[in-house]
Structure 1
């Protein structure tokens, strides 16, 4: 008698797949667009500061009296930064010359 029977393995595999999907962060299109807008608006002299600058802008953009405060999501910030890093070097620099072009290129990268 084998311990690895299909009637046991298949449900376990399905549960593992669903659990993996559920544990992975899912971001709305609105959140992605907001993070891209912030990324395109920050000062771009030092790429090592992008994530810190994004966090400062997002966390600092909350009013003291806001009922719903927006908290920085590091996983989404990383995703936006990695999307920028995947662009060719010439395109990395060119997206910062125009905010509209930056949002369009970076938005397409995140889809």
Structure 2
């Protein structure tokens, strides 16, 4: 019985800590990163993350009190979603910004 009293709170603490450390992104953040991704050049896959970071952090004014920081995990997720598209879908998305956003947010 004493094991249960000790083990249950320990498991709850471990579960709460695991949930805390898993990144959680808002729908607004996801939509913003998809929009940024759809606006960049899609010729060089090696540069996707760097281009996204340049656009997101490059939009900060020098005098801004709250500067937007690039979230690499969310950037990698959007690139991963892009890589899951078929070549035909990628071609269509690269040519049409709206189609790109629709394909990556489904």
Counterparts of 1:80 and 1:10, CA distance in 2: 37
Q: Which runs of 5+ in 1 are unaligned?
A: none
Counterparts of 2:89 and 2:5, CA distance in 1: 52
Deviations 1:64-108 (A, max 9, x none): 232321111111111111111122232222211111111111122
Aligned residues: 106
Report the equivalent of 1:40. 38
TM-score, normalized by length of structure 2? 0.89
Report the equivalent of 1:104. 102
Q: 2:87 aligns with which of 89, 99, 105?
A: 89
Counterparts of 2:96 and 2:16, CA distance in 1: 41
Counterparts of 2:91 and 2:47, CA distance in 1: 16
Q: Which runs of 5+ in 2 are unaligned?
A: none
